[in-house]
Chains A and B, each alone.
Chain A
């Protein structure tokens, strides 16, 4: 059996890759559900109903998709330039921390909306700066950013833990380690009545459209892609690799930081060490399922969010551990890799 590159990449296969990947992952998840002794088809139906079956369910799914869209974008932007930012989780937490630190009081007496905008910017900036560190180490010392960004995730969560048990501790939280809340004025308004869905969804969708525009219509988008495809060729063609990677890092870290800001200002109101159930890591899956396309990330994030929200409901009904969602979404990453592979290669007897 030999692996052979296809002369052309059939468009059908490229477009269908995520669909095939998800289908295979769901089939494998079915085996695990059966292992738990639950009826598989009923379980899938319960997941779908739990994610979209009612107005409340649908808004909860959209709510969960907000941070996933943003972390998915963060990863997609970075991976496209072969900047291996695995630190979206840490950048998200630092963004959230920045928002709370600056937004629990309003000493300057700024109007609410203005404060909210400033806080969003501050959150994005915090995430962006956090990614500049590992990038500087890579450019200056040749240190692989995969490991440094991963290690920083743990450092930042500990920093959050330190702040919420120390200077930012909420005295009214009955001893729960969580921060003081962001001022009500500066929180994001709800966009659907009688639901928790907030303006963050609009921000996330706007970010996806903006990133798509920048990548397809601006020189920077092309430079970033070139730097990823072949740094040497790009440098030869006059692309400033270092400067391009810095911009990519600012954008990627900024998007992840924004995810944290939005999650605090729209959903939780405060920061704690359980703010993110792995949004940063599952952003990698979202980005890959989307084939690194910004608008695809929206769809992929919706799918992942539906799995998480739906599985919670299904787990309560049928007694299947809700970790089934994590397993399925993680499996999607592997099946998507395979699906993409077979869109450009084929196996031949030989």
Chain B
């Protein structure tokens, strides 16, 4: 019990929460945007992997860090366009197409990475994003190191959550996206083009997902290695359900999840020898499943999620 309190009171824990949450925030926001328009994007795991590789490779080849993020976002958008092309105008199974995108994007990422960087003993690294310095703000005890000493993409992720919440709730575009996700026929009756709206949402959402991957290679770590995304995409898909498709709750969900993750990371060495470390590593995945079970009955699913829309077809 005392150790729990000690861990919860440590500055390191709370500083880690925002860092661990960042890729999840990007992932969950991207997935949420796709799903609010009615398209499930199981390509997320592969898109995050490709984003991690593309962003890293751009920086490794001499581009700036922000250019790296841009490259990652563009690559994500490209895979998003592929997923949207298959599932929106053609109305193919969103499950199968999404899994296909994940397999294709991640294996292509490994292939291109191997082409660019031959096998070597130590993986090559880049100079990653450094924590920002907010001057006096960063010096405030506790709040300084936790809130005001993160890397720039973390603040970008939080800003995106606010922007997405505002866009969905308060703008005509947001209304159009939500209407398309609830009832594309009604959207068309309003003079909107459900197909274009869905494609746009999936492309934009996929770009955001890829940023989550790029955060891993350009801020959290400084190199790329296969399987580094480690199911974060699937966790993000679970978090969308947990958040009941609301950006604000998605942000809270990602932070809560990261808190548990940071907590178990610090508990691990203390329980060393008694509880195998793998048990701790399992908890994020089991927690995601538990979260799904808790909210499943109450979740407000977009009514037209996974329902293909073809003009003139019921």
The complex places the Cα of A3 from the Cα of B235 at a distance, in Å, of 35
Interface bin, chain B: 35 or more
Asked whether A334 lies within 8 Å of B101 as measured between CB atoms, the reply is yes
**Which of A120-128, A157-165, A235-243 forms contacts with chain B?**
A157-165
Asked whether B107 lies within 8 Å of A323 as measured between CB atoms, the reply is yes
Q: Any chain B CB within 8 A of the CB of A150?
A: yes
Kindly provide the distance from the CB of A279 to the nearest chain B CB, expressed in whole angstroms.
13
Asked whether A326 lies within 8 Å of B234 as measured between CB atoms, the reply is no
Q: In the complex, which residues of chain B have a beta carbon less than 8 angstroms from the beta carbon of A324?
A: 111
Interface hits, A31-56 → B, CB 8 Å: 32, 35-36
Known A154-B285, A284-B99, A341-B90; further 10 A-B contacts with Cβ < 8 A = A3-B89, A3-B310, A79-B96, A147-B289, A150-B231, A151-B235, A152-B285, A158-B281, A321-B114, A321-B115
Q: Any chain B CB within 8 A of the CB of A155?
A: yes
Q: Any chain B CB within 8 A of the CB of A224?
A: no
Which 3 pairs between the two chains have the least Cβ-Cβ distance? A326-B107, A321-B114, A330-B103
The residue on B at minimum CB distance from A319 is B118
The residue on B at minimum CB distance from A287 is B96
Q: In the complex, which residues of chain B have a beta carbon less than 8 angstroms from the beta carbon of A154?
A: 230-231, 234, 282, 285
Question: Which residues of B are in contact with A by a Cβ distance under 8 Å?
Answer: 42, 82, 86, 89-93, 95-97, 99-101, 103-104, 107-108, 110-111, 114-115, 230-231, 234-235, 237-238, 241, 276, 278-279, 281-282, 285-286, 288-289, 292-293, 296-297, 310-313
Q: Any chain B CB within 8 A of the CB of A2?
A: yes
Asked whether B92 lies within 8 Å of A333 as measured between CB atoms, the reply is no
Asked whether B42 lies within 8 Å of A3 as measured between CB atoms, the reply is no
Q: In the complex, which residues of chain A have a beta carbon less than 8 angstroms from the beta carbon of B92?
A: 337-338, 341
Query: SS class of chain A's interface: helix, strand, loop or mixed?
Result: helix
Asked whether B310 lies within 8 Å of A321 as measured between CB atoms, the reply is no
Q: In the complex, which residues of chain A have a beta carbon less than 8 angstroms from the beta carbon of B293?
A: 137, 141, 143
The complex places the Cα of A330 from the Cα of B43 at a distance, in Å, of 12
Asked whether B90 lies within 8 Å of A330 as measured between CB atoms, the reply is no
The complex places the Cα of A345 from the Cα of B111 at a distance, in Å, of 34
Q: Interface readout for A273-311 with B: 1 if CB under 8 Å, 0 if not?
A: 000000001101100100000000000000000000000
Asked whether B231 lies within 8 Å of A151 as measured between CB atoms, the reply is yes
Asked whether B93 lies within 8 Å of A337 as measured between CB atoms, the reply is yes
The complex places the Cα of A86 from the Cα of B310 at a distance, in Å, of 27
